[in-house]
Amino acid sequence: MLDPLALVRGLHFAATLLTCGTVVFLVLVAEPAGGKLQGDFAAFRHQLNVLTWLALGVAALSGAAWLALLASDILGASLADVCLHGGAWPVLFDTRFGLVWCVRLALAMLLGILILLPATPGFQMVTAVALTVLPALVGHAGATPGAGGDVHLVSDMVHLLAAAAWLGGLPAFVWSLWRARRTPNPAWLDFAIRSTRRFSVVGILSVGALLASGLVNSWYLLASPRDLVATDYGRLVALKIALFAAMVAIATVNRFYLTPRLPAVPALRTLQRNSVAEICLGLCVLLFVGMLGTLPPSAHTHAAPEGIPPGAAFVHIHAPEAMTDVMINPGRPGQADVTIRVSREDMSLFPVKDVRLVLEPPKPGGRPVDQNAVEQDDGTWLVSGITVSEPGIWTARVIVRPESGEPIALDAPIVIER
């Protein structure tokens, strides 16, 4: 059965890409190609603006559903409890996802206003691009540490933007072809030719960017090519690649066979039909994207340590220099012990001089914990008898002082149950 979070993620990405793609199509394709349409173009622009508003509305609603489902998963509470008792507020205000969500909501509202002002195409483009690329900060790329993480993050942003320009712009392109076929004004046929050629250039650049950024992302997310058939994550990536190849094949036919035959009506009709097929394949790709976001990449998978007691709070924190496992037992308010294991990428123990634990409470003014850990015979570090004052999403920060070099700080959210 399909995970609701995967479905909501896919819907949200589809709406976001449609928003950005429609703005890109209007600014870079339709506006330069529509000079001869005169009064008809104002009506066409209004129709694309309506499409953008609808996409923004779906993006906002699906974003809210994404937030609620994520809060339900993090807090271990039902969706009803999260929605009725404010369970989403800690995720909204105390996590990176929540911060990015708030910024993107503000950008969506700003874009909804800007598209009312035809004289602001540059601001519209910048706002739409920011709205589209910011989800990379809360995806797998945003969790990749170090300089490699910066490369991965930029690559993921390029991937999202290229997908928006091509796939997100296809509905507006199909609508323009439909108008050209149904309107007796010959200027519309000229517009169809000019817009098809301009959108073809956008598509070629987007495909190149998708290929390059896809290779970079695969380098960071897959341990080896074998993962494409040996892991659930890799198999979904392989299906996504296959669908992308089919889309490129259709786009190639459009570019090199149908476009030179315009404005012949059969070519126009087939071009429209092929573009609809590209949209359908693209929606399947976005469904896989939604599913991929709920799975750990095979290159980042680490087995959870054995012996975690029921009810304990646990988090694995990854940094370029070291990794750490933090377990708070029991994972609820009151007295608790914290066990910390510091390791290398290959899971062997990382030699350190001392370890300090800082637990920051969910709300300002709460009682934090700041205490040195004591090394145990098995190589783990123990902080015993701490007081966890309240439930919610705490921030666990581990400061490790290695045998040589500068201290290493690792931090991540950890959930204390009610």
pLDDT at 303 over 60: no
Q: Is 417 left (phi over 0), alpha (psi -120 to 50) or beta?
A: beta
User: Model pTM?
Assistant: 0.77
Q: What is the pLDDT of residue 98?
A: 84
Q: How far apart are CA 229 and CA 371, in angstroms?
A: 46
Q: How confident is the model at residue 85 (pLDDT cuts 50, 70, 90)?
A: low
For the segment 205-243, what is each residue's pLDDT rounded down to a tens digit? 999 999 999 998 888 788 778 888 878 888 899 999 999
For the segment 165-177, what is each residue's pLDDT rounded down to a tens digit? 999 999 999 999 9
* More confident call, 141 vs 194: 194
Q: How far apart are CA 322 and CA 308, in angstroms?
A: 21
Q: How far apart are CA 215 and CA 212, in angstroms?
A: 5
Strands of the 334-343 sheet, one edge to the other: 313-318, 323-329, 334-343, 381-388, 374-375
The CA distances from residue 287 to 4, 78, 350, in Å, are 11, 24, 40
For the segment 149-158, what is each residue's pLDDT rounded down to a tens digit? 688 889 999 9
List 371's β-bridge partners, or say none. Answer: 357
* More confident call, 278 vs 88: 278
Pinpoint the alpha helices (H) of 167-264. 170-182, 186-221, 227-230, 232-253
Q: What is the pLDDT of residue 1?
A: 56
Contact 317, 323 (CB under 8 A): yes
Of 128-137, 307-316, 328-337, the one with minimum mean pLDDT is 307-316
Tell me which amino acid residue 186 is: P
Q: What is the pLDDT of residue 90?
A: 72
Q: What is the pLDDT of residue 308?
A: 83
List 336's β-bridge partners, or say none. Answer: 386
Q: What is the pLDDT of residue 390?
A: 87
pLDDT at 74 over 70: no
- Nearby residues of 101 by Cβ (< 8 Å), 6 or more positions away: 63, 67, 92
414: how many CB neighbours lie within 10 A of its CB? 19
With a pLDDT cut of 90, the percent of the chain lying above it is 47
Of 76-90, 223-237, 369-383, the one with minimum mean pLDDT is 76-90
Residue 39, both tokens: 């009064």
pLDDT at 63 over 80: yes
Burial 157-183 (b: 16+ CB within 10 A, else e): bbbbbbbbbbbbbbbbbbbbbebbbeb
Strands of the 392-402 sheet, one edge to the other: 369-372, 352-360, 392-402, 408-416
Contact 248, 140 (CB under 8 A): no
pLDDT at 75 over 70: no
- Across the chain, mean pLDDT equals 86
Q: What is the pLDDT of residue 343?
A: 87
For the segment 314-364, what is each residue's pLDDT rounded down to a tens digit? 988 876 678 889 999 999 999 999 999 998 766 788 888 999 999 988 877
pLDDT at 300 over 60: no
* More confident call, 112 vs 223: 112
Q: What is the pLDDT of residue 146?
A: 60
pLDDT at 304 over 60: no
**DSSP assignment string, 109-175:** HHHHHHTT-TT-HHHHHHHHHHHHHGGGGGSTGGG--HHHHHHHHHHHHHHHHHHHHHTTTHHHHHH
Q: What is the pLDDT of residue 76?
A: 63
SS3 content of the chain, % helix, strand, coil (to 5): 60, 15, 20
